[in-house]
Structure 1
Amino acid sequence: MLKFFCGVLLTLGAVSGSFAQAASVLFLNPGSTREAFWVSYSQFMQAAARDLGMDLRIVYSNRQSDVVIEQARRALQGPDRPDYLVFVNEQYVAPQILRLAQGRGVKLFMVNSAFTADQTSLMDAQPDKFAELLGSLVPNDEEGGYLMLKELIRLKGPVPPGQVIELLAFSGLKITPSAQLREKGMMRALAEHPEVHLRQLVYSGWTRERAYEQARLLFKRYPHTSLVWSANDEMAFGAMQAYTETGGQPGKGVLFSAVNTSPQALQALLDGRLSALLGGHFSLGGWAMVQLHDDELGVDISQYGGRDQQIPLLQLIDHAQAKRLLVLNSTQNYGVDFRQLSAKGHPSSWRYPFSLQTLMH
């Protein structure tokens, strides 16, 4: 078996039929096994693979772009190439992966982060040097950042004329498209609310520890802060810890928000420590598996909504949904029959039913 460079390898084997060889999929997970989001992301993909009879392997790169590239190189140029390679455009690695894949006979699928305009221009200028994508699925990150701040402002309530609401924001990595889009959405909401003043936006690298260290300084610098916007749950928890150490109670003096439906985030919402929570995009990899399985069956997936699709998965999670998701986290298949989501046999007007509601029935 291939030994992937600096990665944690999870293997899920399945064979559909007595002699049929299962379609093989390798997912280059940009996170780590310590990140609840990326672990849940992998688990949902594995649930889909089990249902669909596909062979899924997952390697983690611990957010190191050079590791991702080496994992892709070994997978694409080694003797044990997968049928499909699924990856994320984290830290702008996508063009390098497409270059490595050129002529290798592996189908490529991108999740979570779309190409930037610069990347698209680069590849359009030299199309013969880059492999083509089979397709991509990305969430509504810009809308997510917008909805999250709008909900915080709504919960805070109106302020008297002449007064302001002070906001702190914790984003991920500057070179991650999803972080950039969530920030853009936050800025759109700010433009609609001049009474809200963004005191500082910091980059915490998606980590609790970094956000905690930054928040300790920021709460001292801006003692009148009343809203905290965070682009993921780990950074929100770091900021909440720092606020608690000042004697504050999250959800009371300061309202916190987060993205991701980790069990800890769902419980924090139910407890009132998190005031606004968005999630649903952990399911993207599982939905991608449905499309890869359809491609294996000979379905032209581009007929059902286009080759590259944005799905409005990021939505505000209410208490009933939080309770439901906590229950689903403990099930093997999340209550989803992935085979029933196939486009096979449907007219081209049909669309894949990929949404958080699919998990909420």
Structure 2
Amino acid sequence: MLKFLCGVLLTLGSVFGPCAQAASVLFLSPGSTNEAFWVSYGQFMQAAATDLGMDLRILYSQRMPELTIAQARTALQGPDRPDYLVFANEQYVAPQILRLAQGSGVKLFMVNASLTDNQLSLLGDRPDRLGSLVPNDEEGGYLMLNELIRQHPPAVPGQSIELLAFSGLKITPSAQLREKGMLRALAEHPQVRLRQLVYSGWTRERAYEQAKMLFRRYPQVSLVWSANDEMAFGAMQAYAETGGRPGVDALFSAFNTSPAALKAIVDGRLSVLLGGHFTLGGWALVELHDIDQGVELNQYGGRDRLIPLLQLIDKAQAKRMLAMGDSPDFGVDFRHLSAKGRPTSYRYPFSLQTLMR
């Protein structure tokens, strides 16, 4: 079993000679190699690593937190330790990883989900925890439902607009925050009635099975909010099987700019799409490169930062992003983003616009 747990490995990057002194980075991806989001996330990280001259490896945990812990244990306590370990606090694995890292000499950086306030108060600050980058998940959930409602025809007097919501995992911070944003928008629109919120574990299959039952139970639903693209596609499949037309009879929304989601926005099956957070790992490597060069992050915006990466993607932007997928470096000069040698007024331009220049 341990061999299996430690064997899910994807090695990326080139081998550097001893004179190159390339900083080594290991990213523990909470996703799998069949998830378009985490694949594009890794590709963007690799583009950054290549540009910045860093040695990057990525391990995928296949959505199993026990595998993440096993991978971290091997990396932090084995003989081949990286200079930097990058990971997400998915399913609240961070405290265990921080305990494993004690005395290892490996520096830690968190992406997508950082320590909760409770975890931070219990664990305190540590010199080996360099910082974190997280996206605007709560705002993303809010923006997505607001845009769905904006696109929907006004409610008939005396009737409500019916909504279904598909969230990820209850114990995943990004799912909790997106759901919180959705509920904030819902409170501002009393004409919209949330019929049911279900947890689909980020998977298309689970959302499909749930949606088949929910569309039978609530045949008047005309808005569908989903916390990622896979769940949106599962719900859309179930809706189409009822004879409904996604994008016409009901409006669907999703997070993540996978090629399939971008194409669905272009052809109108998806009405609302938010994305941009697949870039977080690449931006984290820019900061790690700078730390390796002696840059003090506190002088350039802080060690722990929430970045407004999630934004609404329209059809024109979706077409540009689809075309961008053919560029191995995503058209970004990562070295140019470094804060090294810049005045302390400089702020890292981490945004989707940096890709679209």
Which interval holds the TM-score relative to the shorter structure?
Answer: over 0.9
Whether the 8 Å contact between 1:208 and 1:235 is mirrored in structure 2 is: yes
What residue in structure 2 maps to residue 51 of structure 1? 51
TM-score of the two chains, using structure 2 as the length reference: 0.97
AA partner of residue 307 (structure 2): I
Paired with 2:228 and 2:279, the residues of 1 have a C-alpha distance of 16
SS in 1 for 2:108: strand
Paired with 2:108 and 2:233, the residues of 1 have a C-alpha distance of 35
Residue 6 of structure 1: how far off its partner (Å) = 4.1
Instruction: Provide structure 2 residue ranges, at least 5 long, that are not aligned to the other structure.
Output: none
What residue in structure 2 maps to residue 340 of structure 1? 336
What residue in structure 2 maps to residue 5 of structure 1? 6
Paired with 1:68 and 1:324, the residues of 2 have a C-alpha distance of 34
Percent identity over paired residues: 73
Alignment of 1:134-153 (within 5 A): 134-153=130-149
What residue in structure 2 maps to residue 27 of structure 1? 27
CA deviation digits over 1:37-61, x for unaligned, max 9?
A: 0000000000001101110000000
Of residues 324, 347, 350 in structure 2, which corresponds to 1:351?
A: 347
Whether the 8 Å contact between 1:259 and 1:279 is mirrored in structure 2 is: yes
What residue in structure 1 maps to residue 247 of structure 2? 251
Whether the 8 Å contact between 1:69 and 1:97 is mirrored in structure 2 is: yes
SS in 1 for 2:254: strand
Count of matched residue pairs: 355
Whether the 8 Å contact between 2:131 and 2:304 is mirrored in structure 1 is: yes
Whether the 8 Å contact between 1:212 and 1:242 is mirrored in structure 2 is: yes
What residue in structure 2 maps to residue 122 of structure 1? 122
Instruction: Provide structure 1 residue ranges, at least 5 long, that are not aligned to the other structure.
Output: none
TM-score of the two chains, using structure 1 as the length reference: 0.96
Residue 183 of structure 1: how far off its partner (Å) = 0.2
Paired with 2:131 and 2:207, the residues of 1 have a C-alpha distance of 34
Residue 15 of structure 1: how far off its partner (Å) = 3.7
Residue 84 of structure 1: how far off its partner (Å) = 0.3
AA partner of residue 350 (structure 1): Y
What residue in structure 1 maps to residue 222 of structure 2? 226
Tell me whether 1:318 sits opposite 2:314 in the alignment: yes
SS in 2 for 1:5: helix
Whether the 8 Å contact between 2:12 and 2:46 is mirrored in structure 1 is: no
CA RMSD of aligned residues (A): 1.5
CA deviation digits over 1:1-20, x for unaligned, max 9?
A: x997142322312549x822
Paired with 1:132 and 1:236, the residues of 2 have a C-alpha distance of 39
Tell me whether 1:190 sits opposite 2:189 in the alignment: no
AA partner of residue 74 (structure 2): R
What residue in structure 2 maps to residue 108 of structure 1? 108
